[in-house]
Structure 1
Amino acid sequence: MHILIAAPEGLTIPPASGGSVQIYLHSLIPALTGRDGLNVTLLSPGTERTRMHGSGLTHEVYTGPRFATTSYEQWVLRQIARLRPDIIQIENRPKLANRVLRLRRQTTFLQTAKVILNLHSTTFLGPMHGSQKLIGQTLRDVDAVVVNSHYLKRATARRFGIGDLSFPATVIYPGVDLRRFGTEGSRRSLHRPLRLIFVGRVIQLKGVAVLIEAVRQLVRRGIPVKLTIVGKTPPWERSYGLRVHKASSTLPIQWKGFVSPRRLPKLLTNHDLLVLPSQRREAFGLVNLEAMAAGLPVIGSRVGGIPEVVTKDSGVLVDDYHSPTAFANAIAQLVQKPQLYRELKAGATKRSKEFTWQNTASNFERLYQQLSAPRSNQPD
């Protein structure tokens, strides 16, 4: 069975410049390849030097202007027409999935190919990325939609008024590389001062301003604390970035900027807690899982798909997530109750082991087999 997976435009794989979908694919692809009966072709921006290699894997790289979406999509369509795969998996781009469906209708040699849209968030479901009518129809017309959380499945169905019977969505959780983020040799007690870390884009959605104010409150209470902020501000949030930098100027806060995925595991293990005060619903939050695998309890917002990952045994979910005081209280509680911290630390490590890329790949393989089976053999 030939599986073609098309990454989004823009960032390369391997993810030298980050990108959540790129990081996801860089881990999923090796777990998929080498399985009996599966041949995988990955399409992504890149160079000959960045091409991935592996048994059962072909990595075709697009070397044109990386952020020229139309040019990249045309290249993807040409590769699909040339390679004629059995399964076409489009990552997080409903408009491109729609173009693939049109190509299938227009070409006899793709009539039996199955099209999967793998949704990672609601971002590209919005009106800035295509007409809502077209996106809704695409969700109905593809052979399968994969989502990374039950929350994302519900939110997508609600947004486009799609009932369960006409929305072929399968929840497949991402995984975490336990070898990279393992906790062997990590300390069991809190540092002093307490080491907090935030990982993500510095944008309003992620709640950096809330976290900075929570740190200010902890300092006023006499709780020794140090916060490391990992991530950069995109151009369209520049004024927000300037504002939060200014707000942090007198506080024990270190701004790291972008940190490559390769360096992140060591950075996480040098901290005590991951704090992510998301201000709107997030589909999954892979960094929560990575931090837990590194032995860090997570203090996060009770929104979106986050509660599907972070449980009461592996972290603290804040209901009043707009409130800096609520986050300060959650952090202070773990300082005041070191035994609770140790229990959550052990729980975070245990919970992370339930999410592996091999499990993720096995779930995709099962979906591919279901889609490829003759109709009489498919489950009701």
Structure 2
Amino acid sequence: MHLLIIAPEQIPVPPPVGGSVEHCIYQIAKQISPNHKVTIVSRWRANYPKKSVHGHVTIIRVGGQNRKKYLSNVLKTIKGKHYDRIQIDNRPTFVHAVRASFPHTPISVFLHSTTFISPPMTTRKQAARDLARANLIIGNSLSLQKHLKRTFPNIKHKVRFVHLGVNLHQFRPKTKSRSHSSSRFVILFAGRLIPRKGIPVLMKATRIVRRSVPSARLYIAGGTGKQGYKSYLKKLARSLRIPVTFRGYVSRSQMPKFYRSGDCFVCPSQGHEAFGLVNVEAMASGVPTVASRNGGIPEIIKHQHNGLLVTNYRSPKAFAEQIIRIAKQPVLAAQLSKQARLDVQSKFSWRATASKLESLYGAEHTNH
């Protein structure tokens, strides 16, 4: 099979920092069996070559100041070529134009969240039209699959899901346990600094945690589109009188080290979290994880088995209770981190993601 993957217009593949969608595209493509050929078309950026080849994966990068210009450059690049299957990541609006150029090629849309099928990015009507033109719609969790089936009942027969993965060599537990002479208790957060990620809830929880664990401090990795929001968070940290370190954007290569620097990872998402890749990365790194019981997160974290879930995730107190358990119960913390690593190894490797995708495409191929 020759698979073409069309990436979104903003960030090159592989991404220098951030860009979880582009990161997933790159990792999955590399793990697809070398019996197949993969071509990725992605955004070009200075310092990146226009074309790079990694074994059976070819990445072609094109310019484009905006979505429309980028899409037109993508179409020029792929015109007249033959592909057995086209996968469009996270941009359902691209389907119409791609379908016009490739009327007979199976097209799938791989969705990483509900963002691009919901207002303000699009209307429900437009999203339904875009998705109807695809042969297959893939969500990154069972939760997202169910949401798609409920929201777009006319296409529910086309919707599948494939869990994402993690690089198990890069993200791994620290080799020796840290000597507790540095007896600080470090709480980690990683993600974009945007309201629905729930950072204020985590900050308020940290203040409560510090009453019983005075050494607790919070490290936050992630960038923000809006400077104003970061200033608000810094002001909040000062008013709560809690020690918070803002690490800003942390490059992909530095993230494993960031996870290993913590005693507990927290994902306090307030909006629907389709999958929550950060949880899998933290779990692979052997860090006990506390997260909102929300969206696709319970498909990854099983409460008291490989992590802790917070049902009342609007409540700082509910988060504080679970974080304190990890701080005060080293046996529980060790059990959770050991089980988390085992579960990620068996279920959430990029190879598992790629092989599930291959079998979906193979099965669909035989139905054509």
Fold agreement, TM-score > 0.5 = yes
Distance 2:143 2:274 in 1: 7
The correspondence for 2:199, drawn from 201, 205, 208, is 208
Secondary structure of the structure 2 residue equivalent to 1:176: coil
Secondary structure of the structure 2 residue equivalent to 1:129: coil
Quote the offset at 1:273 in angstroms.
1.0
The correspondence for 1:307, drawn from 298, 302, 315, is 298
The count of corresponding residues between Structure 1 and Structure 2 is 361
The residue number in structure 2 matching 1:241 is 230
Please give the TM-score of this superposition, normalised by the length of structure 2: 0.93
Matches within 5 A, 1:32-51: 32=32, 35-36=34-35, 38-47=36-45, 49-50=48-49, 51=51
Contact 1:95 1:129 in 2 (8 A): no
Quote the offset at 1:293 in angstroms.
0.4
The residue number in structure 2 matching 1:76 is 74
Secondary structure of the structure 1 residue equivalent to 2:88: strand
For 2:294, the aligned partner's letter is V
Distance 2:349 2:355 in 1: 10
For 1:129, the aligned partner's letter is M
Secondary structure of the structure 2 residue equivalent to 1:82: coil
The residue number in structure 1 matching 2:95 is 97
Contact 1:189 1:338 in 2 (8 A): no
* Greater mean alpha carbon deviation, residues 126-135 or residues 48-57: 48-57
Distance 2:30 2:164 in 1: 14
Aligned-residue CA RMSD in angstroms?
A: 1.9
Distance 2:86 2:121 in 1: 21
Question: What percentage of aligned pairs have identical amino acids?
Answer: 33
Q: Deviations over 1:314-358 (max 9, x none)?
A: 111001111111111111112221111111111111111121111
The correspondence for 2:186, drawn from 172, 189, 195, is 195
Report the CA distance shift for 1:189/1:82 in structure 2 as closer, same or farther (over 3 A). farther
Matches within 5 A, 1:135-154: 135-154=127-146
Secondary structure of the structure 2 residue equivalent to 1:83: coil
Contact 1:41 1:58 in 2 (8 A): yes
Distance 1:373 1:87 in 2: 12
Residue 340 in structure 1 maps to residue 332 in structure 2? yes
* Greater mean alpha carbon deviation, residues 245-254 or residues 51-60: 51-60
The residue number in structure 2 matching 1:11 is 11
Matches within 5 A, 1:203-282: 203-235=194-226, 238-249=227-238, 250-282=241-273
Distance 2:43 2:10 in 1: 7
Contact 2:264 2:326 in 1 (8 A): no
Contact 1:206 1:278 in 2 (8 A): yes
Distance 2:179 2:147 in 1: 39
For 1:178, the aligned partner's letter is L
Residue 286 in structure 1 maps to residue 277 in structure 2? yes
Report the CA distance shift for 1:161/1:239 in structure 2 as closer, same or farther (over 3 A). farther
Distance 1:205 1:175 in 2: 23
Report the CA distance shift for 1:180/1:151 in structure 2 as closer, same or farther (over 3 A). same
Secondary structure of the structure 2 residue equivalent to 1:267: helix
Contact 1:189 1:342 in 2 (8 A): no
The residue number in structure 1 matching 2:160 is 170
Report the CA distance shift for 1:371/1:79 in structure 2 as closer, same or farther (over 3 A). farther
Contact 2:174 2:286 in 1 (8 A): no
Quote the offset at 1:178 in angstroms.
0.3
Report the CA distance shift for 1:189/1:120 in structure 2 as closer, same or farther (over 3 A). farther
Contact 2:4 2:85 in 1 (8 A): yes
Q: Deviations over 1:251-278 (max 9, x none)?
A: 2111101001111001111211111111
Contact 1:3 1:41 in 2 (8 A): yes
Residue 26 in structure 1 maps to residue 26 in structure 2? yes
Contact 1:275 1:299 in 2 (8 A): yes
For 1:97, the aligned partner's letter is V
Distance 2:213 2:76 in 1: 62
The residue number in structure 1 matching 2:348 is 355
Report the CA distance shift for 1:111/1:163 in structure 2 as closer, same or farther (over 3 A). closer
Secondary structure of the structure 2 residue equivalent to 1:145: strand
Quote the offset at 1:188 in angstroms.
7.5
The residue number in structure 1 matching 2:86 is 88
Distance 1:20 1:367 in 2: 22
